Structure 1
Amino acid sequence: MTNYFRTFRPATPLAWLLPVAVSLGLLGGAAQASAAPAADKPRPGGTLTTIIQPEPVILTSALNSAAPTGFFSANVFDGLIEYDNDFKLRPALAERWEISKDSKTLTFHLRPNVKWHDGKPFTSADVKWTLENVWKKLHPRNQILFGKVTQVDTPDALTVVLRFSEPSLAVLSSLNSNGAQVLPRHLYEGTDILDNPYNNKPVGTGPFVFKEWSKGNYIVLERNPNYWDKGKPYLDKIIFKVIPDASARAAALEKGEAQYAPFNPVPLKDAQRLAQLPSLKLETRGYDWLSPWLFMDVNVDRPYFKDVRVRQALAHAIDLNALNKVVWFGFGKPAVSPVVSTLGQFFNGNVPRYPYDPARAEALLDAAGLKRGADGNRLKVQIDYLPYGDDYKRSAEYIRQALKRVGVDVTVRTQDTPTYTRRVYGDRDFDLAVVWFAGFADPLVGVTRAYRADTVGKNIPWSNGSGYRGDEANKLIDQAQGSPSQAERVELFKKFQSVVQSDLPSVPLLELRFFTVQSAQLRDTVSGVDQVYASLKHAWFAVPPGGSATVATAGKADAAR
């Protein structure tokens, strides 16, 4: 399995960000931090205050794949496996695993003596129940990923055997806590899963135990003293602080009130200044597994967007290079396809393209019968943006200005995350929507969910928002899911990209380049390519906040604050 999984490794991981970082001076703080002598070994103790923005809607990634939930919940839950910094699989809840020669049987051998945070034993029954009741029925990515599982056998408490009707090779790329989070059967079985109170006071097997959620303020986790990975975690406590204002987040990091913040937490224009401070550093690792891309969903159920020429006109009207430079300060790359270019084996650079060409956009709108009126407008629509920060709002405002030039009058609409997801994925009460998805290491895991017809209007966040129901595209997805040949899957996905870029239900905008801002005294925050969706069990302070290295011992770190 390990050798197979390495075929998913993106081409030249992180190489894309180095020129950007150098040109903006973003490595200054990191370089200064690296000049300081490193401690010989991890020091236990201390409280880490991290920024989580926006506040999660739910605390369990098994039921909601939003980024804030994923960032938080991996500290409470373990996956069956973990990933290292080279995309290799390493044991977690599963000590080892085997796949049959026909790729239709996957067997996990679970770690013994693992306990849920309430003291109950973790067993194969938990995995079986979660797969059958959550992954296959409720999870926006796993419904297709585990859709070909016809039977789950549990011959004993520590063995789980998955039997597939067809090979599902992409499963190998999504077995961590974010991709395949296991829930405690004894707390969920027989309940309304989506309304279970433990969704917001989670009980996991992970390195940290949930203690408190003060909504609108903070979430507190404390060290799990009975964690199976002996000696970890090093930190005594993690406080996830909710700070909606971007300038306030920058100030909290600069003052040392927070020591860790992922997903471009500060205004991009402030990143260079903060990176130069000796107390902070920018960390660009830990996002490789995500393969994130920014795109604009077009509601194809709207009469004026049913015509592909109108959708093509929207694409031609947006200057992606300018969007990247003006809005994202170079922390991106114009997108060609919904599959990002760093996924080298899957990426198709020969898809239909829509270069910036306002004249072409106007001609297409004329041909579609949308003539300019007396006020100069052809069409009035609304655009909703993912409420994850100013970058997304400014993206919507940039698109508004771009479309105005070709006679499309756009109103930018603001709302909270629950309203946004219900509007786009449930009620479908929108025209255009700006959002980002993680494509992950295999298109079947993260990309195809944006195009599958069977999720339209089912209020499944981060699925098919455009309402696209392309028969050919869905056929290609199904074929790729069941193919036992990786070479065949690659060709099917390349054809899929050509089809969806011809139909254009969604307009790819940018391949995103995220960064984390953290204290220069915080060590080992990155242990794998999926770090932002993995736990901080390896993290430790060389010098704790408000204290000295000599007091950073277990049980005393809080007193040093």
Structure 2
Amino acid sequence: MKRYVESVREGKLARRDFIKMLVACGLTVPVAGHILANAGIAMAASQSSYLPTKRGGGGTLKLLWWQGPTLLNPHHALGTKDQDGARLFYEPLAAWDPEGNLVPFLAAEIPSVENGSVDKDGKFVIWKLKQGVKWHDGQSFTADDCVFNWQYASNPDVAAMTSGAYAGLKVSKIDDHTIRIDFDNPTPFWADAFVGTRGMLIPKHHYEKYNGANAGEAPANLSPVGTGPYIFEFFSPGDVVKGRLNPDYHEDNRPYFDAVEMKGGGDAVSAARAVLQAGEYDFAWNVQVEDALLKRLEAGGKGTSEIVPSGDVEIIQLNMTDPTKQVDGERSSIEAPHPFLSDLNVRKAINLLVDRDALEKHIYGRSGPVAKNMLNNLPRFESQNTMHEFSIEKAIALLEEAGWKIGADGIRKKDGVKLKLVFQTSTNAPRQKTQAIIKQAFQKAGIETELKSIAGSVFFSSDVGNPDTYGKFYADMQMYTTTMPQPDPKDIMLQFLSNEVSSKTNKWQGRNICRWRNEEYDKLYAQSQSEIDPIKRANMFIRMNDLVVNDVVIIPLVCRNKVASVINGLYAPLSGWDSNLWILKDWYRTS
């Protein structure tokens, strides 16, 4: 048994296969879940895997988010930290489980073509709401709240971060516990609005006076009133969030913990140590550290690393524009092609100089298997038409053939242009080690590289006056993780559309940061948004993936599995397709 548990921990054996083995031996699913929980390994959550027989009694659950949330309105969440902070108190109609399946929360059931609530032509979906649900202030949750959330998120004056999920549709009330969503166009992926990280619902009666340009003034932005398992108690932005058990929660025997505390601050390494070495916290979020360090910390016996696949991928972006030339006061302008990255041969050579196997082996390990595609861990969308190869010799031959010759200073040049580039990323130990590995290979091929690391709070900022944001991309190459918020590619693949180019005009908020433009890609993406046939639609996304990868617009490095540090005995199921706290209501301690 111990050997099989270790295989699950190391990612060699899938949790679901381990559960099947135990069930085949005569054990029940709850018992199988209990075995994994005692080993600090979470399994996919289900009603049958939850063991506590009463509400409360579990003491305080101590969570560590090394980037603490700064506000608690899910519609204005600035990234994962704010989404997770809001998820302590707010819930969506449905969430995504580890296998990418929908699980009902505030919905009474999951819509489907079979039960008549999803139109086979993708024109509408009907959601039936769970009855008897109360907001934390005692008022009833109804269809009116859902309609309001659509009105709020789609109001341009509100400037909601979730607006994309509620665009191109209309939400109407059928009765107090039923809503209908009508789409402007046939919509194959209908499970976006009201689902997952962008689907958390806020109460109409607390926000209807703030449905406009005054949205930021709503008191509930900092003191939320939700339907979730915990009731808000205290919030110090960037520092700590506290909640207490909801005695009227709409599911029996939940939650198990009497209180929850989410502490912010520090860094990924200190967060991992706080759980795995010191045992001061029960759970640490997003521990982006080398796998070798995680294993050393795990050896102390106080906790383990919970690792689940996701659609997130660490990539290198290549700038198709010149970051040094100004056009009408704008650098990296689409009017100024890059002096050498516009050459496909140079991009192909750079691709050959990235040793992805070394990154997996020496840095990421269990948390980052090699990626060769933009779309990963979704079999129907994964391309078989791409490959990855590391060869300094082939890269040199390609550059030579393309006319890039070594100069007296050891740097390749052509027509007076030298292969000298700036490679930037956020300050993070694995990323700095990745930069160093790549620079070494570049140097052997005659490419000079200046490495630049920028504090994450600056690099990922939306400050229009900051020259070092990833959206401005004032460098030749940059590296970070691009995320897939749900098990469908429509959002992650937005970042290559021509009309999404990041520029001064849109305050560098456009998703297309590489500034790459391709007419075929644009047409395929447009067609995919209304293609109901799942096979045809999947093939469209595979072709889009191939265009981006084979044109070396980006270089996929590793699949970024979700990694958290979990204290021994904590049952904390994670999903790679939703918030870390997607099923917080089911967390409990086994010992």
- Residue 268 of structure 1 aligns with an amino acid whose one-letter code is D
Match of 1:383 in 2: 423
**Once structures 1 and 2 are overlaid, which stretch shifts more, 331-340 or 372-381?**
372-381
How many Å apart are 1:446 and its aligned residue? Answer: 4.3
Counterpart contact for 1:234–1:539, Cα < 8 Å: yes
1:313 matched to which residue of 2? 349
Q: Which structure 2 residues correspond to residues 277-356 of structure 1 after superposition, within 5 A?
A: 277-284=300-307, 287-288=308-309, 290-302=310-322, 303-304=338-339, 305-340=341-376, 342-351=377-386, 353-356=387-390
Structure-2-length-normalised TM-score: 0.76
Q: 1:141 to 1:372 in 2, by over 3 A?
A: farther
Task: Quickly say closer, same or farther: Cα 1:90–1:131, change in 2 above 3 A.
Answer: same
Unaligned stretches of 5+ residues in structure 2: 1-6, 16-34, 42-49, 112-116, 323-337, 412-417, 463-467
Q: Is the 8 A contact 1:140 1:461 kept in 2?
A: no
Q: Compute the displacement of 1:309 (Å).
A: 2.9
Aligned partners of 1:219, 1:180: CA distance in 2, in Å?
21
Deviation of 1:57 (Å): 5.1
SS in 1 for 2:12: helix
Output the CA distance in 2 between the equivalents of 1:141 and 1:469. Answer: 26
Q: Distance in 1 between matches of 2:479 and 2:229?
A: 35
1:447: which partner in 2? 492
Q: How does 1:49-448 map to 2 (within 5 A)?
A: 49-56=62-69, 58-64=71-77, 66-84=79-97, 87-96=100-109, 97=111, 98-134=117-153, 143=164, 146-149=166-169, 151-172=170-191, 176-185=195-204, 186-187=206-207, 188-193=210-215, 198-253=220-275, 254-264=277-287, 267-284=290-307, 287-288=308-309, 290-302=310-322, 303-304=338-339, 305-340=341-376, 342-351=377-386, 353-365=387-399, 371-377=405-411, 378-387=418-427, 389-406=428-445, 407-422=447-462, 423-424=468-469, 426-439=471-484, 442-448=487-493
**Hey, what's the Cα distance between the residues in 2 that align with 1:386 and 1:131?**
35
Give the fraction of aligned pairs with identical amino acids, expressed as a percent: 23
Cα distance, 1:359–1:58 mapped onto 2, change above 3 Å: farther
How many matched pairs? 514
SS in structure 1 at match of 2:586: coil
Q: SS of the counterpart of 2:385? A: coil
Any idea what SS the aligned residue of 2:420 has? strand
Change (3 A) 1:35 1:177: closer
> Aligned runs of 1:515-554 on 2, under 5 Å?
515-526=563-574, 530=578, 532-543=580-591
- Are the aligned partners of 1:382 and 1:430 in contact in 2 as well (CA < 8 Å)? yes
Matched position secondary structure for 1:434: strand
Q: Is the 8 A contact 1:70 1:533 kept in 2?
A: no
Q: How far apart, CA to CA, are the structure 2 residues paired with 1:111 and 1:442? A: 24
Are the equivalent residues in 2 in contact too, given 1:207–1:535 (CA < 8 A)?
no
Q: Is the 8 A contact 2:10 2:366 kept in 1?
A: no
Coordinate RMSD, CA, aligned:
3.6
**In structure 2, C-alpha distance between the alignment counterparts of 1:56 and 1:296, rounded to whole Å:** 27
Amino acid at match of 1:358: I
Q: Is the 8 A contact 2:574 2:581 kept in 1?
A: no
Distance 1:246 1:60, change over 3 A: same
Deviations 1:509-551 (A, max 9, x none): 11123332212132354589746251411112344xxxxxxxx
Could you list the per-position Cα deviations for residues 91-111 of structure 1 after superposition, in whole angstroms to 9, with x for gaps in the alignment? 212213411232211111222
Which one has more relative contact order, counting CA pairs under 8 Å at least 6 apart? 1
Q: AA paired with 1:172? A: A
Partner of 1:9: none
**Is the CA contact (8 Å cut-off) linking 1:425 and 1:461 kept in structure 2?**
no
Q: Aligned letter for 2:394?
A: R
Q: Flag the 1:338–1:85 CA change in 2: closer, same or farther, 3 A.
A: closer
Deviations 1:25-54 (A, max 9, x none): xxxxx9894499x98746633111112123
Counterpart in 2 of 1:505?
Answer: 553
Cα distance between partner residues in 1 of 2:217 and 2:451: 35
1:292: Cα distance to partner? 2.0
Cα distance between partner residues in 2 of 1:31 and 1:160: 39
Show structure 1 runs of 5+ residues with no match: 1-13, 23-29, 544-561
Partner SS for 1:239: strand
Q: Closer, same or farther in 2 for the Cα pair 1:245/1:425, shift >3 Å?
A: closer
